[in-house]
Amino acid sequence: MVTYLLEIGEEGGRPFVNREILRYKRGRYGSPYHFLDFTKGEGYAISNEEDFDKNDEDLTKDYQKLGSSDILAIKGLGQFERFKAAIAFRNFIENWHVSDFHISQARPSQEAGYAEHLSPTGDNLPLVTQYLFENHMDIFNGILDRMRRRVPGISSVQAESTVDGRIVLRFSDGSFKDPFIANYVSDGTLKMFAYLVLLNDPHPHPSMCIEEPENQLYPSLLSALLEEFRDYIRRGSQVFISSHSPELLNNANPEEVFWLVKQDGYSTILRASDSDEINALYHEGDKLGFLWKQKYFVGSDPN
């Protein structure tokens, strides 16, 4: 098990990195070994961790002094090939993804180019669609199949090049002869398609944060979208969703729901499954969204 510890201090009104540790523990018992241990910009990192399984005493501690105490050792040392653990952990963090779709940015045509992964705002949706169509036809067809099941009437989606060198999305409805460009489909249709593209990335993000996915989506689609997120998690990723939607909560279970309680400048994280009252009502048939509106999620109401 790998654990990363980061302590942030404050001095003269400015933050600094007080302590930074990257440690590994072989099993449930025994002391963890520090691959990286820095205090206020000074410390050591192991440069031959490939020998860890042989003998702990054979590991080489490379002592370093960073240029400033506000620099993360993971970031600084992660640029050097010999610090493999730091590189791996830095790459893991840098591949996290925060998604905050803006429909207004996803609608316009996109200048011709290349993109493999959807951007946080979704403004490169046409380019990623084209990439999937040209390089991962099986995934693209799977997305279309999901669209047909989630959004009635949609028969196909195409990313087409225009004469001025731009890429536009065209949505085909079986009831009409000519397809519609993205500017003329509903917000919900476009957003559902964008989420399906994001969640079917050939190279899933190890951790993903989703900001209020319920916006622009018809409430009846939230159950299907939540199941798409669960499928993504089954592929080995983490997904964090922030929401103010009772309808979304109505499709969740207590083990999946957390809320924050702010008090005296600090936030405490509570889990719905840890509440005996919420658990009992849920198993009697109550939905979590209704329980939230009835203030069973103590401390979540700003009033």
Residues 6+ apart with CB under 8 A from 179: 156, 158, 170, 171, 172, 173
Residue-wise pLDDT tens digits, 43-71: 888 876 665 555 556 677 888 888 788 88
- Cα separation, 292 vs 159, in Å, equals 41
Helix (H) or strand (E) holding 227: helix 222-234
Q: What pLDDT is stored for residue 30 in this prediction?
A: 62
pTM: 0.74
Taking 80 as the threshold, does the pLDDT of residue 23 lie above it?
Answer: yes
C-alpha separations of 115 from 53, 75, 129 in Å = 40, 25, 9
Q: What pLDDT is stored for residue 34 in this prediction?
A: 82
Mean pLDDT of the chain: 81
- Cα separation, 210 vs 105, in Å, equals 17
Taking 60 as the threshold, does the pLDDT of residue 126 lie above it?
Answer: yes
Q: What pLDDT is stored for residue 57 in this prediction?
A: 61
Taking 80 as the threshold, does the pLDDT of residue 150 lie above it?
Answer: no
With beta carbons less than 8 A apart as the criterion, state whether 217 and 225 touch: yes
Task: Map residue 185 onto helix, strand or coil.
Answer: coil
